[in-house]
Structure formats: C-alpha cells, structure tokens
Amino acid sequence: MAINVTRSSMPAFEEYCEEIRELWDTHWLTNNGIKLRTLQGKLQEYLQSPYVAMFTNGHLALEAVLASMELEGEVITTPYSFASTTHAIVRNGLKPVFCDIRSDDYTMDASKIEALITDKTCAIVPVHVYGNLCDAEAIDAIAKKHNLKVIYDAAHAFGVTKNGQAAATFGDASMFSFHATKMFNTIEGGAVATNDKALYDRLALERNFGISGPEDVPMIGGNAKMNEFQAAMGLCNLRHVDENIRARKHVHDLYMELLGGHEGITLPISQVDVEGCYVYFPVLFDGENYRRDEVFDKLTALDIHTRKYFYPLITDFECYRGMDGFDSSATPIAKSVSDQILTLPLYPDLADEDIRRICAGILAGRHI
C-alpha cells in the first residue's frame, strides 16, 4: 500500500457538515461572513495576536503584507524556502538578497545579515523552517538598529512557541499558510498576524479590491478573501489541532528512535525552550554512507513517497537563472542542505508499522 509524504487533516464528515449547515440558511458564502469572523477571533487567541488578517491562501497573504508596507529596494531573505517566499518579494518589485542558513536548524543565519545590508535595504523576510524558529531576538535587534521591517514567513510555524510566546508575535508581521498539506489547514488559506492596527486595516483593503465601503475605493487592491467553506474547515480543524500535534509528535519520536545513531543520517534537532508542531520530519544524508537521491529512488520503488524539500534551492530556479544576485554558491550551507535533504512521510494517523517500513527502507539503502 502506498505511503504518501503527507495527508490532509480533516474532521469527521458529520462535524464539517454540521459546521456548514447554516450556510444553506444564510446563503452568505464569502465577504467576511460569520464563519470567517469566528475563526479569526479564535486564531487571535491561539496565535496570541491582537490582529489576524485572513486570506484565501498564504502566498497572497505574503504578497499583501509586503505591498501594504509600501517597501522599496532590497529585502534580505533566505534561498532555503518554498518558491512563494521569493516570488512574493519579486512580484512586489523588490530585489531579494540571499542570506545563508544555519547548518543545525536550517533557518536564516542572523550573524550573516548585517554584512548584506546596504542603503537600499528596506526589510528582512526570514523563514521558520520545519517548525524550527529563527533567532528572532537577534533579527529584531538588527532590524531596530538599521530601521528595517521584519516579515516572517511562518508557514511552518503554526502552533510553535518559545518560552510560551507564539511565533506569530515576532517581527512586524508573520504570514501563516493554511494549505491542505499544513499541520492546520482551511483547505486553502492563510493569514497575517500583527500587532499593528494600521497594517491590519490596510490588509483588509488589499484583499478586497481596495474597497472600504459601498461607495468608497480609496486604493487599488486585489481579491484574496477567505470564503466561508474554508473558514468552516478551519473551525473544525482548530478544535483538534492540539490532538493533531500530539499524534505528530508520536510519529516524530518513533522516527528518532528507529533512525537515531546511524552514521551518515542527521535527524532534526530540538530547539531549546521551543514547543514545536512536528509539521515535517527532515533527514539529511551525508552523501557517503547514504546518498539522498538513491534513498529517494529506493523508497519510491517501495511505494513510499518522500519529498526533496527544499530542492532545488530558490537561487537555482530556472525562472531566476542569470538574474543578478541569484547565485547559490554565495550560500554554500543552504546549497549543501538542499542537495542532501529529504522529508519523510508525517501525518497524525501514520501507522507505526508504516513508520518501521519506511525506516527499514532507508537503512537498507546504505551506500556500500
């Protein structure tokens, strides 16, 4: 039987049907309906954020927050991320400047940021990776020193806290993805969490054509509203999110037990004082004892589907080839990790016997 790299978390069919039942009474399907407003309130509490702007997906949320800040010039970011991060920067007419990552948790190396700052730098867009948090304290100090905005791509950090403080509270804003493959999903969806009321108000215009009232359109905006069916799925899934995290932790812990201590395999670290969400299980292969692509092919032949995530590095994308600043040799750690990383199947109901099957397939793939 096939084992996929992920499986969308869904409530019981009856629970979702009950949640959407009233939509057949109200016929209110989008435009800031009751489901969206209810979910928004619950997320403000869960994410410890006074303002949570809801979007139809995380990418448009990131594009909107960059646009809302009216930035110009260069944005320091990481090449070790999903395509969305850099695409959102470029599509806003900004130039990405790439900072290398740390070799232990794969997040932006804050010690290398200041060397990249110029008089054109306007913001930093760090990425929390696999539930690992960036060094927010160091990044915040740098941003304050140089008067820069900080927008976190927190797509992997829903439910993650450090010393009890939610990831959503870091920086000027944090973007979350609620895509179907994420630990918490609204089918598709996303949000921007912020402490800035003015930014929140601007985001409301950005996602709704710039319309502020029945006859008022003070700015040019797009269409990125979350609909009621998405919000209803979010309300259902949020009820089970802590249970989801506990189940994911069980999968994570069994992987650690079965794969730990094998030369050539680097397993995820546990960050100090961080409560994670166990959204992914990344494994780094050394290229000698184990070769990533060989392991990938062997597992695929066993009908076990993994993901080279993130590969290729953003700076190696065809669409950016030859563009100024897109040079993967400038970020050697990110390049090395990208060439060796593999994320294993992880979802709440992944059976122990399947985890053992996956690990046996990996260990059998040792390069002799």
Query: In 321-352, which positions are buried (b, 16+ CB within 10 angstroms) versus exposed (e)?
Result: eeeeebebebbeebbbbbbbbbbbbbbbebee
Residue 365's pLDDT is what?
79
Structure tokens at 134: 């960036």
Per-residue pLDDT tens, the chain, 368 aa: give them. Answer: 899 999 999 999 999 999 999 999 999 999 999 999 999 999 999 999 999 999 999 999 999 999 999 999 999 999 999 999 999 999 999 999 999 999 999 999 999 999 999 999 999 999 999 999 999 999 999 999 999 999 999 999 999 999 999 999 999 999 999 999 999 999 999 999 999 999 999 999 999 999 999 999 999 999 999 999 999 999 999 999 999 999 999 999 999 999 999 999 999 999 999 999 999 999 999 999 999 999 999 999 999 999 999 999 999 999 999 999 999 999 999 999 999 999 999 999 999 999 999 999 999 978 76
Pairwise CA distance, residues 252 & 274, whole Å: 15
Residue 60's pLDDT is what?
98
Going by C-alpha positions, the residue among 126, 132, 131 that lies closest to residue 149 is 126
Structure tokens at 314: 């953003």
Residue 1's pLDDT is what?
85
**Domains in the chain, start-ordered, CATH in brackets?**
13-239 (3.40.640.10), 241-363 (3.90.1150.10)
Q: Which are the contacts of 239, defined by CB distance < 8 A and separation ≥ 6?
A: 11
Going by C-alpha positions, the residue among 263, 269, 264, 265 that lies closest to residue 106 is 269
Q: How many other β-carbons are positioned within 10 Å of the β-carbon of residue 240?
A: 17
